[in-house]
């Protein structure tokens, strides 16, 4: 029977990783398959990495939290890492292939329209703004790293991200108003 809280998996002051793997492997696989289109080999690699990461960070866990929350968070971070490892985005148009697919087709259509509108708006931006946004949100890079790579100050990176977010947020609000009105 799957236990919910982390403390339920602790034996002799450490995680019983065998029980966790048994209880949560299918859960991890479902998250990956619902979020991505990866090869079975990549899926298996991420599943393995989830439990290794959990084991290596067990001393940082809040034992009163739900195991599923940690597992889901680790899985999503490893999916992002895998995409970064697979390809460095050179053009904002390349991101279309990596759009995370929703389970609900109606929701997917709506999200796809929003995504396309955002992507279109982003493509109208300056190339350096596209690059900063892509590096931060899709490549999961830190502001400090982007600053060094592009030879901009950290405040300039933050300003560019803020302006781009505001522009995209305004677009979404306008689209939402058009859909409801």
110 against 126, higher pLDDT: 126
- CATH architecture for segment(s) 6-86: Orthogonal Bundle (1.10)
Sequence ranges of the domains in the chain: 6-86, 92-180
The answer to whether the pTM exceeds 0.75 is no
Residue 91, strand partner residues: none
In this prediction, residue 177 carries a pLDDT of 61
- Where would I find the beta strands (DSSP E) of 73-151? none
Where is average pLDDT lowest: 21-35, 84-98, 164-178?
Answer: 84-98
| pLDDT tens digits, 32-79 | 888 777 788 888 888 999 889 888 888 887 888 888 888 888 888 888
Higher-pLDDT residue of 48 and 81 is 48
3-state secondary structure of 65: coil
**pLDDT > 90: what percent of the chain?**
10
Q: Smallest Cα–Cα separation from 46: which of 13, 81, 86, 89? A: 81
Res 88 pLDDT > 60: no
d(CA 135, CA 127): 12
Taking the domain 92-180, which CATH number applies? 1.10.10.10
Report the alpha-carbon distance of residue 16 to residue 13 in Å, rounded: 9
């Amino acid at each position: 029977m799957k236990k919910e809280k982390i403390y339920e998996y602790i034996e002799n002051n450490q995680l019983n990783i065998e029980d966790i793997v048994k209880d949560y492997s299918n859960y991890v696989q479902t998250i990956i398959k619902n979020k991505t289109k990866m090869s079975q080999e990549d899926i298996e690699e991420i599943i393995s990495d989830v439990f290794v990461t959990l084991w290596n960070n067990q001393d940082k866990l809040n034992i009163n939290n739900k195991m599923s929350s940690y597992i889901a968070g680790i899985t999503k971070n490893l999916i992002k890492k895998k995409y970064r490892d697979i390809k460095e985005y050179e053009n904002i148009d390349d991101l279309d292939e990596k759009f995370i697919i929703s389970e609900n087709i109606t929701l997917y259509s709506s999200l796809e329209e929003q995504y396309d509108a955002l992507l279109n708006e982003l493509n109208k931006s300056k190339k350096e703004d596209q690059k900063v946004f892509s590096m931060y949100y899709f490549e999961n890079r830190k502001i400090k790293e982007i600053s060094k790579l592009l030879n901009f100050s950290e405040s300039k990176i933050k300003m560019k991200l803020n302006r781009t977010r505001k522009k995209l947020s305004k677009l979404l609000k306008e689209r939402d108003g058009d859909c409801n009105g």
